[in-house]
Structure 1
């Protein structure tokens, strides 16, 4: 390895190399946010004060649930705390994005960011008021009213999918900056785009 290759890159080179991956992260986040807002808007317009709509022979039910808590309706009395946590997640993802050189990490973080922004939008703009808004959940699996599986929305699905992908990437030794970590714990030579 040459001495020049082992020198750390300049900040401008780092931003340039991360650029396409940051754009991918941003596009995914915007698409997830848009899909989440659209599905929630349609759900409020079409499902308010109506019985759950059965689909696929009862595998899926669409119904409107306003959730003051976190996933699985946990922490229902701490809506403002959940809002602050969501803001912190968004800030952390934006801050680490400048080191991003992995397509896999860009996709995963884009899903998490879009989902966090979707639910955060509800917490800020929906009743009962700013930082205490209830999240609109729409999908119930196997039975209405979340009896078998908690009612969820597009943002929740994106957060869970992105989180699972992050775990898989970590288990495979894929780093945020594109490097692969070997089973021995050290970084392997070269960057990988996955």
Structure 2
């Protein structure tokens, strides 16, 4: 989806706009986080009963993806604008009576009308069509209620070691209220042991 948004922004000449690049950069961030999460799932894989490979925990990744997939669709809609609603069909493109007008008014920046309209129709399928909307709803709900999943993840995560470190840190007076030196001294002590 990130690549489609990038290609649309290029096709309409807005990729370098200040209000567009950060949005596509946000999509790229989600894409990278997904890749890193998949690496973690693969790293946590282990042999299960009967010699069947089992992936590592996917709870956090699934919750994160349910949240971000809807945002990515929203960004694709924002970048694409009203072009998502009306693009020439293949029949329109093949119609000689319309062709001159389509070439003049519907082409993109440095791209012909066929490329732009096909790219937009792909984006329409991802973000606007009934299939795209169904996918958006599915991604959000297929793993169960997202709030329940977050609660279960919180209840199942082991924070004991981190909480013990925090309790150790705040069990002593903070020197001169200088937070930076407290953390520096704490990290130095912790890593030098």
Mark yes or no: TM-score above 0.5: no
Q: Which has the higher contact order (CA 8 A, sep 6+)?
A: 1
TM-score of the pair, normalised by structure 2: 0.28
Based on CA coordinates, which of the two structures has the bigger radius of gyration? 2
